[in-house]
Amino acid sequence: MDIRTRHYDGEVNFATATLPGESDEVVLISSYLCHPSMANNELSGPLGLLRLYELLAARPNRRFTYMFLLCPETLGSITFLSRFAADLKPKLHAGLVMTCLGGPESKLSMKLSRRDWLNRPGPFDCLARHLAEMAPDRYELRTFTPTSGSDERQFCSPGFDWPVIQASRTVYGNYAEYHTSGDDRQFMRIEQVEAAAHQLSSFLETAEMQGHALINYHPFGEPQLGRRDLYPSVNSPMNRDQSNDNSVDQRETLNRLLMLLSLADGTRDLIACAQKIGCASDELLPILRELFTKDMLVTRAFQEKEAV
């Protein structure tokens, strides 16, 4: 076979978008364009990235600054790194590559970073391990490997060694339709992409509280929950198993709320509290939002000291 080629000066196009946060710590979230006719393998990542952008943009407050990257796989991420790695590295908190999120599998499968592989886990590695331990029905883990995967291989290559993990659902190479015409709209479900984006949004909301102590603003005696609509207004055999009059999840929410307030003495972050309570940290997010809204709980970086 004789293949005649010519070299042309060209370009590599990639897109970035940034959501500013309270700090300049950056979380890099990326996906890629590679095989445009394949639905789960190709389109689910960019679609999930777009939906995750919308969810994060709607938040009134963000601790991290989020940088979103969409590029050609491998060549695009290498080009991005050649242009921006030096500026980004000092500010990078962690990163996430989104791929294969639309298939039938129900769990999010998290491929850990090279740092975790070498026993130096990054913050997203630690959070993923916690969630896989406490919520094995929703999360599973894959160890890092440089032999297969997506752009995390470039971000985690030895010269960069960034704490970047990968999130998938129906993982590349593990389904018969992979790299075939069977990877189509019938195989990929938009509902799965939507669910993955929401799950990753909760993952990132939890990550924003890593390394930040939870502090009970009313630690002297049990707080008055009734006037804050956090306690049943009537205590009887008919409603004793409910968290409050409007609750649909029974007594468990109230128990977790009380345990969380007891643990929030400024020495533990959300993950440590969740481990002690015996649940996944993201399961406490609805309770935390209520407590923050009602000025019962605050967070503070461990190194910060409250003025006396």
Domain hosting 36: range is: 15-207
Share of the chain above pLDDT 70, in %: 92
Nearest to 263 by CA among 297, 301, 290: 297
What is the token pair recorded at 177? 């339709």
More confident residue, 114 or 224: 114
Range 208-229 average pLDDT: 89
Indicate whether 218 and 202 sit together in one domain: no
Please state the rounded mean pLDDT for residues 138-146.
98
Centroid of chain to Cα 78: 23
Can you give the pTM of this predicted structure? Answer: 0.90
Contact 79, 12 (CB under 8 A): yes
Q: Are residues 108 and 198 in the same domain?
A: yes
Identity of residue 110: M
**Pair 167, 109: CB distance under 8 Å:** yes
193 and 227 share one domain:
no
Residues with Cβ within 8 Å of residue 114, at least 6 apart in sequence: 144, 146, 156, 157, 158, 161
Name the 3-class secondary structure at 113.
coil
Judgement on whether residues 58 and 146 belong to the same structural domain of the protein: yes
Q: What pLDDT digit, counting tens, does each position of 28-71 carry?
A: 999 998 887 899 999 999 999 999 999 999 999 999 999 999 99
Give the Å distances, CA to CA, from 287 to 21, 55, 86, 205, 290. Answer: 23, 19, 40, 13, 5
The CA distance from 37 to 48, in Å, is 17
Residue 57 contacts residue 104 (beta carbons within 8 Å): no
Question: What is the reported pLDDT for 226?
Answer: 76
Provide mean pLDDT across the span 5-13: 90
**Beta-sheet pairing, 212-216 with 65-72:** unpaired
- What CA–CA distance (Å, rounded) separates 273 from 279? 9
Picking from 142, 177, 207, the residue at the C-terminal end of a domain is 207
Last residue of a domain, one of 157, 174, 207: 207
CATH number for position 248: 1.10.10.10
- Three-state DSSP at 304 gives coil
- The yes-or-no verdict on residue 292 having pLDDT over 70 is yes
* Same domain assignment for residues 111 and 144: yes
pLDDT at position 74 is: 95
Tens-place pLDDT, residues 117-129: 999 999 999 999 9
| Token reading at 116 | 């975790």
pLDDT band at residue 307 under the 50/70/90 scheme: very low
Convert the pLDDT of each residue in 232-286 to its tens digit.
555 555 555 554 545 435 578 889 999 999 999 999 999 999 999 999 999 999 9
Cα-based torsion angle of the residue sequence 120, 124, 125, 126 in order, rounded to the nearest 10 degrees: 90
Q: Which of 207, 224, 245 is the last residue of a domain?
A: 207
Q: Are residues 134 and 220 in the same domain?
A: no
pLDDT at 198: 98
Predicted confidence band at 227 (pLDDT cuts at 50, 70, 90)? confident
Classify residue 148 by burial, with Cβ atoms within 10 Å: 0-12, 13-18, 19+: exposed
pLDDT value of residue 225: 82
**Which tokens hold the place of 8?**
């042309």
Q: pLDDT band for position 221 (50/70/90)?
A: very high
Give a yes or no: residue 307 inside a domain: no
Question: Which CATH number is 28's domain given?
Answer: 3.40.630.10
The string of pLDDT tens digits covering residues 166-179 is 999 999 988 989 99
Q: In this predicted structure, what is the pLDDT of residue 306?
A: 44
Highest mean pLDDT among 25-39, 79-93, 219-233: 79-93
Q: Can you tell me whether residue 62 is helix, strand or coil? A: coil
Check whether residue 155 and residue 249 sit in a common domain: no
Nearest to 101 by CA among 174, 187, 167: 167
